[in-house]
Amino acid sequence: MDRSDRKTIRVGSRKSELALIQTKFVISQLKELHPEIEFEIVSMTTMGDRVLDKPLPKIGEKSLFTKDLEVALLSGTVDFIVHSLKDLPTVMEIGTTIGAILKRDDPRDALVLRDDCKEYQLDSLPSKSFIGTSSLRRTAQLKRKFPNLQVSDVRGNLNTRLKKLDSSQSTGDNTNTNYSGIILALAGIQRMGWEKRVSQIIDSDVMLYAVGQGALAVECRLGDDYILEMLEPLHHYETVLQVVAERGFLTRLGGGCSAPVGIRSTVCLTKNAMSLDGAVWSLDGAEELQYSSSAELADKKVIQSHIDQYRGEDGEPPKKCPYKQPRQFVGVTPGKISYLDLDTALKLGTELAENLISKGALDIMNAAKEIIHSTIK
């Protein structure tokens, strides 16, 4: 659909305060590039926002935080959507693509403690203290490394979860509602301007983070060249490579919220290399499989040589066929990023998953799925 004659672009977003902050940030970046365009936010609640009385894996639906927005996107109600990338499934809705991935904020997790517990950290909290999280990944790592703590599910947006923590009291009766602390994504807390609430930044050596955590993604319709061209300058090279590797890892494992899976990735431009650490745990944290791998990125001269092979006689790149779509990398449109580097990142993630699979990762994940399905009523 050609929207090049439009002066107002409609942007889909969840209604939470954090989601709107993130959406407004992306719009501010685009306004700097296109001051002549107006952006209108269309906010809505998703199934993940509406169903708060069940842990996420037990709801039994995919795309909990994205499906409603994607319906609006495909129907033309909105032109693009701003997501926390960790909420986006690795298999994209047919007809959609990730048109931009912005520079990643700190992907680590953070511990937020109740006021009367501020002097503690994870390794010093009193035995049987309750830690709230809705993440199986965090739960498994907590149970493995801090078995003296108790983990309780806590749902809702960032504001809701912090209110549940603040309303908890130290009654000594060990009820699930009396959280000593909760674990949240550090990036979300920082975007809300609530850094002072952070009691401990949990290093990735202690807790691997979620695929895509800390990054913002902009989803649009596949083939909407006007929007894709608008979004392309927001693509951040190192973050895109990290995300492609991480999503490739999770895709090969076939995971989502069905099993605890954690990741850590780095791109070092001075060494022209990237590395990836990934792990899978059983739901109780008793079993752990972890593996690390690295890969060398293409030298920029090699990339240029690769481009030159396809130049026309006049030395300019050939015009793109208007009927041919760019190749997708786990749902990401590459923009101007070299396919050579994206292939390297994707291969790194896939091969890391293969190594874990060879050690029995799928058995652990299947066992987790069976446990989750048996508890769904």
- Per residue in 47-56, pLDDT (tens digit) is 544 444 445 4
212-269: pLDDT as tens digits: 999 999 999 999 999 999 999 999 999 999 999 999 999 999 876 557 999 999 999 8
Which residue intervals of the chain are DSSP H helices? 17-33, 47-50, 56-59, 67-75, 136-145, 158-166, 186-192, 225-231, 237-253, 300-308, 339-358, 361-375
**For residues 277-298, average pLDDT:** 95
Q: Which helix (H) or strand (E) holds 281?
A: strand 273-281
CA distance 4 to 230: 10
288: left (phi over 0), alpha (psi -120 to 50) or beta: beta
Instruction: Choose the weakest-confidence range: 140-149, 217-226, 365-374.
Output: 365-374
Helix axes 237-253 and 339-358, enclosed angle (nearest 10): 30
pLDDT exceeds 60 at position 317? no
CA distance 82 to 206: 30
Sign of CA dihedral 64, 212, 34, 342: negative
**217 in helix, strand or coil?**
strand
5 classed as catalytic: no
User: What pLDDT does 183 receive?
Assistant: 97
**250 in helix, strand or coil?**
helix
**85 in helix, strand or coil?**
helix
Sign of CA dihedral 290, 247, 271, 340: positive
Give ∠ CA 344-349-55 in degrees, rounded to 5: 150
| Burial of 85: CB neighbours in 10 Å, binned 0-12, 13-18, 19+ | buried
User: What pLDDT does 67 receive?
Assistant: 84
Cβ atoms of residues 79 and 225 within 8 Å:
no
Residue-level length of the chain: 377
Nearest residue to 235 via CA among 328, 98, 108, 63: 98
Instruction: Choose the weakest-confidence range: 29-33, 281-285, 348-352, 368-372.
Output: 368-372
Cβ atoms of residues 51 and 127 within 8 Å:
no
Catalytic residue among 87, 109, 277, 341: 87
Sign of CA dihedral 356, 358, 362, 368: negative
Longest CA pairwise span in the chain (Å):
79
- Name the residue type at position 152: S
> How high is the mean pLDDT of the chain?
87
- Name the residue type at position 117: C
- Name the residue type at position 128: K
Phi, psi dihedral angles at 47 (to 5 degrees): -60, -40
pTM of the complete model: 0.88
β-bridge pairing 288-296 and 273-281: antiparallel
CA distance 113 to 371: 30
152-163: pLDDT as tens digits: 998 788 888 999
Nearest residue to 222 via CA among 6, 70, 27, 7: 70
- Name the residue type at position 292: S
151 beta partners: 131
